Structure 1
Amino acid sequence: MLGKSSLNSKIPIRERDFNYSMKLSRITLSIIGLWPFRENIRCSNFKFVVILVSILMTLLSSLTFVYQTDDDDKMFHSLINSLYMLMTLVKLLMMRCKNDKLEVILSEMRIDWRKYERFSDGNKRLVDLYTGKARTSSFVCIFFMEFSITTYFISRVAYALQQPAKIREWDLPYTAVYPFEVTSSLFVPMYLWQVFSAMCLGSVTISIDCLLVTTACHATGQLAALCENIKSYGHEQRHRDETLSSEIECSCIRCIIERHVDIVRYCRLVEDAYNLILLTEFIGTTFQFCLQMYIIVEHSHDKNIVGLLSFCIYLLVFNFRLFMYCNVFDAMVEMGEKVGASAYDISWYDFHPEAVRQLMFCILRANKPLNVTAGKFFSLNRNSYKNVIMTSSSYASVLLSIK
């Protein structure tokens, strides 16, 4: 178990800070111009507008092709790309609208990291553990997203190379309709433009993934440290003025309750800021799963093995991202429930009646889950991940039966 000292003693202590924990999120959000603590506002706004325009233009041209084409296979392929672009565009605009709330969340995290130096060695190890998990998950997200984009482009080139040289046609990465004819002189610029758009799409997805994982793991680490403080609480402990003794964290009952309230408020900030973004992610991913599984099953006997492989990788990447969201937020809820269990398990019958009453309020508050929802409709947990997979499979089977 994460809370046991036997495990904590095996994890080396490394001095961390806010900049270390948010490094990947800061880099990725700065790329798309959404890092709230930006020094050059004009540069950030310019990057945001460029990314917004590139995604919007590619989306409109792709949707135009979906509307005009009579080829069902090409229509499904283009529809999958259009859904991903639309989902990413909506999330980008929502992130822009929620930038003030993001600044508040990051300010709360910065305050928490200022208290890190006063933590006990065991609590430092716990916080380091979840910070490491957030960074590892972020690195995996970056790798998978870049790998899926690269595989998609390689599959398009490989499919063209499989055709005989006399009838070989080179297509753009995203099948689209433009108000001008893409001739040989314009093919390379348009190809590079779509490559840039794909990079913008990947950057937006990666930045949101890194941010959500980091904020969730931060709350889980703080709750784990709070559980340790509750377990080690003794009735003889008195409040310590941290302004006079800043080297040691105060673990009296008053500070434990105040810390619990602060963490709960932080979780509510995360919920209010990102529930619509998560709803967009879940709806878009459900339809993408449906269409991708339909294409994989329908074209499982085709000779374009590289193309099918790219769709399988694409499906696995989005499957991983969805599971990661559900897993990190479910872990946060479970750790919040452990706070109440830790308060109940200590020898509270030896405490002063006032301390017992405060512990009772802590237990009651911990019984209310720290759920992060998708648009207030359902909570993110492992069960909701299973429901999305089952729903997508059902939709895909309906499409196959109609076909």
Structure 2
Amino acid sequence: MDSAAPSHSAAAAAEAASDLDHLLRPLHWAAVLRHPRRASASPLCFRLCSIAMASFAFSSTCSEVTVLFRDGTADLDVFTLTLSVVDTNTIWLFRMAHIVMCERAYHRLTGQVGHDFAEFMTWDDIPVLRSQCRLVRRFTLTYIWFGIGACACYLVSPASAEGLPFIMVLPYDVTQPLSFAATWLFCTITCLHVVVMTMVLDSLNVSLISQLRVQLILLNKKIVSLAKEMSAKAVHHSVTSVSPDLHYRLEKCVRHHQAIIKNADLLERSLGAMLLAQSVAIGAAICFQMFQIATSENVALAAYDAVTSLQECPLSIKRSLLLLMHRAQRPLRITAGRFFPLSRESFVSVVNVSYSFFAILRNFKDEEE
């Protein structure tokens, strides 16, 4: 009775430290994922709200697709921007449908510390758990607020001739004050729901992965501590005389590891398809942007053709074209903090360097052990 009380208190403290309510609440109120504690309250109302929000994103996607078919590639800037918006909206609709299918798994995972790992928590684990969860919470909240700020900037930066943040095809005259206000509100709701809720859902996924990572850290500490105690006892006693307490702790470590594997498998089943679709969408968006950047390299060729075809023009014009051609030989680039340009070669280099650092750290850790 006395030994169970501290364990129960430690489990409650662990559950409180790993609480994800700051992410579950906005997902619930945005009709993306029902809160585990409110899952039984008005499910029909929640689904109707989800359908309404999905209809907003679907209507916006249909309007953007109409722009693509209407204008084509005549204006490459408009085409690339519209294609990126369609890509973002489409993947969000897929993610909303995926969440509906995996809702029970998400509810299980969001409470995994209290449900599946409670019996393994001790008071020695609480400081580590609190520190790691606090760090992840700060990171995810910063990430979400950055997305809100980016949306705010985008919504007040008109992309269409009518002053709207999106280039859209609408069945009514948007230049009238009332219709413009209604359309701008529609764009605002759609943008905030798609972009911000995408970031909130990403933050939830990161937090769930982090929870399993913390459990692995705690399990590693317990195994190391157990190994040291068994080694110390083996110096004075035979191996067969190891105390039942050590056997019990070893059994507990094994069960802890099995619980981690079980939840990792559940997380993989819940995130696998979503991560694949998201990776494809991100890759497509990067491809669109890099294609647009690459068109700047054609300026040098155009200037060269102009110089050779204007033999009878004044020398000042030829000189200006030569200067233009010389400058255009250095293509326009978008850089990552002025460290390296955004290109296929730099992306491959970053991946290679990341893997090299991972291998070095992994080898260093193995040598220490």
Contact kept in structure 1, 2:88 and 2:281, CA below 8 Å: yes
Q: How does 1:139-150 map to 2 (within 5 A)?
A: 139-150=141-152
After TM superposition, give the deviation of residue 35 of structure 1 in Å.
2.4
Contact kept in structure 1, 2:15 and 2:113, CA below 8 Å: no
Instruction: Name the structure 2 match of 1:220.
Output: 213
Instruction: Name the structure 1 match of 2:323.
Output: none
Instruction: Name the structure 1 match of 2:184.
Output: 191
Structure 1 pair 56–36 and aligned structure 2 pair: CA distance change class (3 A): same
Amino acid in the other structure paired with 2:57: I
After TM superposition, give the deviation of residue 279 of structure 1 in Å.
0.6
Moved more, 145-154 or 263-272: 145-154
After TM superposition, give the deviation of residue 25 of structure 1 in Å.
2.0
Instruction: Name the structure 1 match of 2:107.
Output: 103
Moved more, 63-72 or 226-235: 63-72
Amino acid in the other structure paired with 1:182: V
Q: How does 1:285-364 map to 2 (within 5 A)?
A: 285-296=282-293, 298=295
After TM superposition, give the deviation of residue 136 of structure 1 in Å.
2.0
RMSD of aligned Cα (Å): 3.7
Distance, in Å, in 1 between the alignment partners of 2:293 and 2:139 is 27
Instruction: Name the structure 1 match of 2:96.
Output: 92
Amino acid in the other structure paired with 1:97: M
Structure 1 pair 311–50 and aligned structure 2 pair: CA distance change class (3 A): farther
After TM superposition, give the deviation of residue 140 of structure 1 in Å.
2.3
After TM superposition, give the deviation of residue 176 of structure 1 in Å.
1.2
Q: How does 1:135-284 map to 2 (within 5 A)?
A: 135-156=137-158, 169-184=161-176, 185-233=178-226, 234-235=229-230, 236-239=242-245, 252-284=249-281
Instruction: Name the structure 1 match of 2:324.
Output: none
Amino acid in the other structure paired with 1:270: L
Distance, in Å, in 2 between the alignment partners of 1:299 and 1:146 is 32
TM-score, normalization by structure 1: 0.62
Contact kept in structure 2, 1:25 and 1:210, CA below 8 Å: yes
After TM superposition, give the deviation of residue 99 of structure 1 in Å.
0.8
After TM superposition, give the deviation of residue 208 of structure 1 in Å.
1.3
State the Cα deviation string for residues 301-324 of structure 1 (Å, max 9, x = none). 9xxxxxx9x9999xxxxxxxxxxx
Distance, in Å, in 2 between the alignment partners of 1:29 and 1:16 is 23
Distance, in Å, in 2 between the alignment partners of 1:311 and 1:179 is 40
The alignment partner of 1:142 has SS state of: helix
The alignment partner of 1:172 has SS state of: coil
Distance, in Å, in 2 between the alignment partners of 1:294 and 1:92 is 29
State the Cα deviation string for residues 261-287 of structure 1 (Å, max 9, x = none). 110111111001110000111000001
Instruction: Name the structure 1 match of 2:79.
Output: 75
Distance, in Å, in 1 between the alignment partners of 2:194 and 2:261 is 33
State the Cα deviation string for residues 149-194 of structure 1 (Å, max 9, x = none). 12222332xx78xxxxxxxx43321111123343414122111111
Instruction: Name the structure 2 match of 1:23.
Output: 21
- CA radius of gyration, larger in: 2
Which contiguous aligned blocks of 4+ residues in structure 1 show a shift greater than 6 angstroms?
A: 310-313
Distance, in Å, in 1 between the alignment partners of 2:212 and 2:51 is 32
Structure 1 pair 183–311 and aligned structure 2 pair: CA distance change class (3 A): farther
The alignment partner of 1:92 has SS state of: helix
Gaps of 5+ in 1: 1-13, 161-168, 241-249, 302-307, 314-325, 346-403
State the Cα deviation string for residues 53-98 of structure 1 (Å, max 9, x = none). 1111111111111111143331211111111111111111111111
Moved more, 281-290 or 202-211: 202-211
Structure 1 pair 66–251 and aligned structure 2 pair: CA distance change class (3 A): farther
Q: How does 1:384-403 map to 2 (within 5 A)?
A: none
Amino acid in the other structure paired with 1:87: I
Distance, in Å, in 2 between the alignment partners of 1:19 and 1:124 is 8
Q: How many residues align?
A: 285
Distance, in Å, in 2 between the alignment partners of 1:67 and 1:88 is 22
Contact kept in structure 2, 1:56 and 1:89, CA below 8 Å: yes
Whether 2:122 is the aligned partner of 1:119: answer yes
Structure 1 pair 52–239 and aligned structure 2 pair: CA distance change class (3 A): farther
Distance, in Å, in 1 between the alignment partners of 2:248 and 2:150 is 47
Structure 1 pair 137–197 and aligned structure 2 pair: CA distance change class (3 A): same
Distance, in Å, in 2 between the alignment partners of 1:205 and 1:95 is 12
Contact kept in structure 2, 1:65 and 1:78, CA below 8 Å: yes
After TM superposition, give the deviation of residue 298 of structure 1 in Å.
4.8
Instruction: Name the structure 2 match of 1:48.
Output: 50
The alignment partner of 2:157 has SS state of: helix
Amino acid in the other structure paired with 1:213: V
Gaps of 5+ in 2: 1-11, 231-241, 300-331, 338-350
After TM superposition, give the deviation of residue 109 of structure 1 in Å.
3.1
TM-score, normalization by structure 2: 0.67
Whether 2:64 is the aligned partner of 1:62: answer yes
Contact kept in structure 2, 1:94 and 1:277, CA below 8 Å: yes
Percent identity between matched residues is 16
Moved more, 279-288 or 175-184: 175-184
